[in-house]
């Protein structure tokens, strides 16, 4: 962390920082990899973490606390973004896992700067351990924004999510009863 900004670290490097050190017979890298595998299936429980070689009660408790805090912080971030329903502009994002199971759905105000939106979308995907996201640009009436603006946002979203191994699936624009696939 002293050499690079924390946001530039991989998920595995962040887990290693949280874990701190390995144990006899299990390196911190091994433990982080095993925890990362568990995270791909959802937030692991205390008991599940204890089954990882090298994870004792103290580390399992610390990891469960970190996951709970991350979940609460994600909720706090989203409280500032009320559900818009069909009112717009907003971005409706669906997060799913490798099997296509829906992990969560959030709406974000389109009035936020694009960089902030990208950060929120990625943070939520990481918190939910999503491997795929789908995006709908929701407008109340035919949008004033050009499709080009939305395409630029999607291009940047692809680049940002790729850093975390997350793919972007369907991208649509909706207004009223009209739905158009963007990419």
Checking if the pLDDT of 84 tops 50, the result is no
State the residue for tokens 């299990």. Answer: 26
pTM greater than 0.75: no
Closest Cα to residue 90, out of 131, 52, 143, 40? 143
Q: Say which residues have a Cβ less than 8 Å from residue 27's Cβ, sequence separation at least 6.
A: 54
For the segment 24-39, the average pLDDT, to the nearest whole number, is 91
* 32 vs 73, more confident: 32
The domains of the chain are located at: 6-77, 82-181
What percentage of the chain exceeds 70 in pLDDT?
84
Q: Residue 15 has which token pair?
A: 């887990």
For the segment 167-179, the average pLDDT, to the nearest whole number, is 82
Query: Cis peptide leading into 89, omega within 30 of 0?
Result: yes
For the segment 19-30, the average pLDDT, to the nearest whole number, is 90
Q: Residue 143 has which token pair?
A: 């949008």
Give the CATH H-level superfamily of domain 82-181: Cytidine Deaminase, domain 2 (3.40.140.10)
**What confidence category does residue 120 fall into, taking pLDDT thresholds of 50, 70 and 90?**
confident
- At 58 the pLDDT is 93
Cα-based distances in Å from 163 to 10, 30, 75, 123, 166: 8, 21, 23, 12, 8
- At 6 the pLDDT is 65
Q: Residue 98 has which token pair?
A: 């490798």
Sign of CA dihedral 156, 160, 165, 167: negative
Please report how many Cα atoms fall inside a 13 Å half-sphere around the Cα of residue 98, on the Cβ side.
7
> Rounded to whole angstroms, how far apart are CA atoms 5 and 133?
25
């Amino acid at each position: 962390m002293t050499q690079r900004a924390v946001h530039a670290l991989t998920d595995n490097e962040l887990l290693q920082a949280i874990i701190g050190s390995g144990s006899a017979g299990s390196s911190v890298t091994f433990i982080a990899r095993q925890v990362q595998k568990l995270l791909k299936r959802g937030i692991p429980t205390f008991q599940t973490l204890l089954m990882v070689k090298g994870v004792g009660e103290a580390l399992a408790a610390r990891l469960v606390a970190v996951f709970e805090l991350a979940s609460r912080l994600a909720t706090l971030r989203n409280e500032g973004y009320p559900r818009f329903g069909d009112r717009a502009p907003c971005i409706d994002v669906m997060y799913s896992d490798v099997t296509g199971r829906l992990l969560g759905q959030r709406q974000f105000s389109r009035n936020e700067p694009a960089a902030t939106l990208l950060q929120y979308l990625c943070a939520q995907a990481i918190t939910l351990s999503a491997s795929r996201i789908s995006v709908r640009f929701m407008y109340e009436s035919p949008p004033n924004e050009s499709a080009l603006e939305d395409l630029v946002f999607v291009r940047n979203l692809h680049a940002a999510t790729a850093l975390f191994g997350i793919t972007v699936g369907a991208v649509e624009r909706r207004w009223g009863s009209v739905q158009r696939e963007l990419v």
